[in-house]
Amino acid sequence: MTIDFPDQGVALVVGGSGGMGQAIAQRLAASGAHVALTWRANEEGARLGAEMVRREGRQASVHHLDLTDPTEVAEVFDALAALGPIHTVVQAAGYAIPMRYISQITPDQWRDVIDADVNGFFNLIHVALPHLRDDGGGSLVMVSTAGLHRWPQKDALSVAPKAVIEALIRGIAREEGRYNVRANSVALGVIEGGMFLRLRERGELDPQWLAAATHNTALKRFGTPEEVADAVTFLASSRASYVTGQVMLLDGGYSL
């Protein structure tokens, strides 16, 4: 095991119930971190992720978390803080967002996504930042989208909220660096896991879409959750201790 995290304390993976979150939790554990995983609708997935952490010889816990509920966010952090310092917070929660052209988006769909993504992220950092400061610093990593660097058709409901979140990441990096708090994001292209699988099952990613996405990706393939986990773990770890306010593009060259 390579030890890139403190033996005391915990890394929190928000959205640890999905394939992406599970892979991140496992890779954090393989790098020395004890891990807490949250779930909103898939408790079984979070418990599977926790077992993956334990198989790496690290401690794991599972917590229900709805980011739109500020009280529940505070309760989860208080529960973790009672066990030791929180040194890492990863936001990897994803939603099965409908694929729509901007002209087809309804006001209700827009409000739902802004509440879940933007307001949810604010609720997270509102509670997380004081804990990271009080514990002597730490790392915040956001799983974002390469769509901010090359517009993907019919993906406004995913991309637009991330623009706000990316601005907050840069602001956190600038304002909280004095407290040894780092903030970075990993901007993903098409990853064969998580939301991608759900959208494909629903038929929203048809063969024509998949062919076009492959054509527009320089490496001519899609990424894997394990590749995402490697990038997130690096940015969260002591190996990236002088990296903050940055966006790591993990998109196979989609944004070129």
Predicted confidence (pLDDT) per residue in 109-141, tens digit = 999 999 999 999 999 999 999 999 999 999 999
* CA dihedral (223, 226, 232, 233) positive or negative: negative
Say whether pLDDT at 28 is over 70. yes
Q: What is the pLDDT of residue 2?
A: 65
Q: Is 185 helix (H, G, I), strand (E, B) or coil?
A: strand
Residue 1: band (very low, low, confident or very high) from pLDDT cuts 50, 70, 90: low
Q: How far apart, in whole angstroms, are the C-alpha atoms of residue 167 and residue 213? A: 27
Domains of the chain: residue spans and CATH? 10-248 (3.40.50.720)
Q: How far apart, in whole angstroms, are the C-alpha atoms of residue 29 and residue 2? A: 10
* CA dihedral (175, 125, 245, 112) positive or negative: negative
Q: What is the pLDDT of residue 88?
A: 98
State the DSSP string of 106-157: -HHHHHHHIIIIIIHHHHHHHHHHHHHHHTT-EEEEEEEEGGGTSPPTTBHH
> What's the Cα-to-Cα distance from 47 to each of 53, 118, 169, rounded to whole Å?
10, 27, 29
pLDDT mean across residues, the chain: 96
Q: Residue 3 burial by CB count (10 A; 0-12/13-18/19+): exposed, middle or buried?
A: exposed
Q: Phi/psi of residue 241, each to 5°?
A: -65, -15
Which residue in 218, 219, 237 sits closest to 229, CA to CA? 237
Q: How far apart, in whole angstroms, are the C-alpha atoms of residue 51 and residue 119? A: 31
- In the chain, the N- to C-terminal Cα span, in Å, equals 35
